Amino acid sequence: MLELVKTADGSNTIYNATVGENYHSKHGALQESRHVFLNSGLQYFLDRKLAATNISEEAVSILEVGFGTGLNFLLSADFCTDRKINLDYIGIEAYPLSLEVISQTGYDQYASAELWQAFIANYEELLQKPIKLTSHCNLQIAGCKLLDFGSKKQYDIIYYDAFASANQPEMWDEAAISHTIQFLKPGGVFVTYAITGNLKRSLKALGCKVEKAPGAPGKREMLRAVKLL
Helix, strand, coil percentages, rounded to 5, for the chain: 35, 30, 35
Residue 60 resides in a domain: yes
pLDDT digits (tens, 9 = 90+) for 81-136: 999 999 999 999 999 999 999 999 999 999 999 999 999 999 999 999 999 999 99
pLDDT given for residue 53 in this prediction: 83
pLDDT given for residue 6 in this prediction: 97
Residue 185 resides in a domain: yes
The pTM of the full predicted model, rounded to 2 decimals, is: 0.97
CA distances for 52 relative to 59, 100, 184, 187, angstroms: 16, 44, 18, 11
Residue 151 resides in a domain: yes
Give the number of other CB atoms < 10 A from CB of residue 220.
9
pLDDT given for residue 55 in this prediction: 74
Residue 10 resides in a domain: no
Q: Which domain does 162 fall in, by range?
A: 29-227
Give CA–CA dist 129/131, Å, rounded: 6
Q: Indicate the DSSP class of residue 41.
A: I
Give every residue of the chain whose pLDDT is below 70, as ranges.
none
pLDDT given for residue 54 in this prediction: 76
pLDDT given for residue 134 in this prediction: 94
Residue 22 resides in a domain: no
Residue 16 resides in a domain: no
Residue 3 resides in a domain: no
Residue 8 resides in a domain: no
